[in-house]
């Protein structure tokens, strides 16, 4: 019975994995073609995003409330970049698998050639960097008055977007040794040289 149960679990696990990879590929194509809707429900799961360096032009930072599929409200800080260049990208999310225990989906890229993204939005619950250099920064600008960086169109239409809330904007930014805990990442275009996507048993977080 245990052996049969184990085989059935593996079949289901494989099916879920294939579906997940297929969906990820479809999302990637949709993002590259600008076909995805700007507003969507998040899963609510937190994942890690790390980078050796991040250089960006047209920067915005503003608070927002994301809505999980079950209706849970998740407060986040949105980091918006009109154009971003990333080296040493790592994204990891833990996936609990019945019977088998935790697995970690790890995406890496941009080691030899940098990752390039346009209209990149990171909905973060925590952000840290060893070094942060900005040019032409405005701290305390109203979110509705941001002009140097982008506002996610889906956020602007949301009932949770407050145009008068405290926000920041900058002409450019350089971040080193970036560590972000996020619930969602979207981009108009995303080019990841040296993409490597692995599903590894155990916990293998980016940081």
pLDDT of residue 69: 87
Q: Which residues are bridge partners to 168 per DSSP?
A: 61, 139
Contact by Cβ (8 Å): 129, 179: yes
Closest to 121 measured CA to CA, from 72, 96, 158, 84: 84
What per-residue confidence (pLDDT) applies to 70? 86
By the 8 A CB rule, do 44 and 77 touch?
no
3-state SS, residue 99: coil
Rounded Cα gap, residues 109 and 91, in angstroms: 9
What is the C-alpha to C-alpha distance for residues 167 and 60, in angstroms, rounded to an integer? 8
Q: What is the mean pLDDT of residues 84-111?
A: 95
> In Å, what is the CA distance from 9 to each residue of 118, 183, 184?
40, 28, 29
In the predicted structure, residue 30 carries a pLDDT above the cut 50:
no
Matching residue, tokens 């998740």: 74
Question: Residues in the chain, how many?
Answer: 207
Q: How far apart are CA 88 and CA 82, in angstroms?
A: 20
188 alpha carbon, distance to own chain's centre: 13
**Is the pLDDT at 31 greater than 50, yes or no?**
no
d(CA 201, CA 176): 29
Task: Give buried/exposed letters for 26-47 (b at 16+ CB in 10 A, else e).
Answer: eeeeebeeeebebeeebebebb
Q: What's the pLDDT tens digit per position in 145-177?
A: 999 999 999 999 999 999 999 999 999 999 999
Which of these, 149, 152, 156, 123, lies nearest to 134 by C-alpha position?
A: 149
pLDDT in tens, 109-129: 999 999 999 999 999 999 999
When pLDDT is averaged across residues 61-90 and rounded to a whole number, the result is: 96
**Residue 178: count of CB within 10 angstroms of its CB:** 24
Q: Looking at residue 26, what is its pLDDT?
A: 42
Write the burial class of residue 74 (CB in 10 Å: 0-12 exposed, 13-18 middle, 19+ buried): middle
What mean pLDDT comes out for the span 36-52?
80
At residue 40 the predicted structure's pLDDT band, cuts being 50, 70 and 90, is low
Is 116 within 8 Å of 85 (Cβ atoms)?
yes
């Amino acid at each position: 019975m245990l052996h049969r149960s184990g085989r059935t679990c593996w079949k289901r696990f494989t099916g879920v994995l294939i579906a997940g990879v297929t969906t990820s590929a479809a999302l990637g194509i949709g993002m590259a073609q600008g076909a995805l809707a700007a507003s969507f429900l998040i899963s609510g799961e937190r994942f890690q995003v790390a980078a050796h360096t991040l250089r960006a032009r047209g920067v915005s930072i503003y608070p927002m409330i994301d809505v999980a599929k079950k209706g849970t409200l998740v407060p986040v800080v949105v980091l918006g970049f009109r154009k971003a260049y990333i080296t040493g990208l790592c994204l990891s999310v833990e996936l609990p698998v019945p019977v088998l225990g935790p697995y970690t989906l790890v995406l890496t890229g941009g080691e030899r050639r940098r990752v390039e993204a346009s209209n990149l939005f990171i909905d973060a619950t925590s952000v840290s960097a060893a070094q942060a250099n900005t040019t032409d920064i405005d701290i305390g600008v109203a979110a509705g008055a941001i002009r140097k960086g982008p506002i996610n169109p889906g956020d602007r239409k949301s009932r949770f977007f407050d145009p008068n809330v405290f926000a920041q904007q900058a002409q450019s930014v350089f971040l080193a040794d970036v560590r972000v805990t996020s619930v969602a990442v979207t981009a108009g275009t995303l080019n990841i040289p040296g993409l490597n996507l692995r599903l590894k048993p155990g916990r293998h977080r980016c940081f």
